[in-house]
Amino acid sequence: MKSNKVIVVLIAFLVIFAFLFYWLVGRERVERNNYQLVMITENEVTWNCYGSSWEKKTNINDYNWKKMDVFIDGKYSGKYYIYHDDQWYLYDDNKEAVDINGNFLAIESNFDVNAVSFEMSEIEDNEYVVEELENKGLSTGSQLTVNDETKVDIDNDGKEETLYVISNTFPIDFDTDFSFSYVFMEKDGQIYDVFSNESDNMYTAVRPFINAIIDTNNDGIYEILISTAEYSNQGQGHILYEWKNNTFQKIIEN
């Protein structure tokens, strides 16, 4: 009887040890192997995602002549061969050049990536814009140069959230000594900030836009890629956010 008990205890220990070993060492490896994704934006940097860990790669020429899923201005455009020289170029199956009119995003993955084909439209109801401006201590009568929204079920709960982009950057017909840009989400009557940029100098201010709404890790929750344009239009920045614990968190940026 006694030796039976010892065997049971030993087996229990082995099971617990195997479970802990998998949890600490194997799980990450399994995750890395499960979902892999490469995301290429207009910068000369690619983002590679293995499970939940992201890496930046600068060897962009490795992707030359790879066939990838291409999105232009948030809309799925098709599978094209991509090629980088002084900028990114696209080619179809006959190796004919395809124009890129808009913001380019290319994706390669070992799973079926769920991305939203979305369109921005002018904000219909000002209620949450007024609330956001008040939250930021700004005049609710502030003139805007960007005033866009789109509706998406970001958190996969069956109800659409609204994503707002507002900005007073790069004005043509008015002056301002304070530039601001905010991207925020309204969910169940609450505002959640995604991106904000404020500047006293209009030449350093940046204007954001929603570049992609895409589930990069296949967990059913969409991530949001915010890209930013600088006044000079020379540079672009990119930040990927995830909705986690009721807040937007940066995953990776460049």
Would you tell me which residues interact with Ca ion (CB under 5 A)?
153, 155, 157, 159, 215, 217, 219, 221
Q: Which is nearer to Ca ion, 92 or 219 (by Cβ)?
A: 219
Helix/strand/coil for 174: coil
Q: Write down the least CB distance from residue 51 to Ca ion, Å.
A: 11
User: Residue 202 gets which letter from DSSP?
Assistant: T
Structure tokens at 25: 């060492």
Q: Write down the least CB distance from residue 114 to Ca ion, Å.
A: 9
Q: Which is nearer to Ca ion, 120 or 221 (by Cβ)?
A: 221
Q: Which is nearer to Ca ion, 168 or 216 (by Cβ)?
A: 216
Q: Which is nearer to Ca ion, 88 or 195 (by Cβ)?
A: 195
Structure tokens at 111: 């799973």
Q: Which is nearer to Ca ion, 73 or 161 (by Cβ)?
A: 161
Q: How far apart are CA 164 and CA 129, in angstroms?
A: 8
Distances (CA, A) of 166 to 19, 47, 98, 182: 49, 27, 32, 5
Q: Write down the least CB distance from residue 244 to Ca ion, Å.
A: 9
Q: Write down the least CB distance from residue 120 to Ca ion, Å.
A: 18
Under the phi-then-psi rule, with left for phi > 0, alpha for psi from -120 to 50, and beta for the rest, what region is 78?
left
Q: Contact 193/248 with Cβ under 8 angstroms?
A: yes
Q: How far apart are CA 108 and CA 112, in angstroms?
A: 10
Q: Which is nearer to Ca ion, 73 or 223 (by Cβ)?
A: 223
115-146 burial, b at 16+ Cβ within 10 Å, e below that, comes to bbebebeebeeeebbebbbeeeeeeeebebbb
Q: Write down the least CB distance from residue 194 to Ca ion, Å.
A: 15
Q: Write down the least CB distance from residue 156 to Ca ion, Å.
A: 7
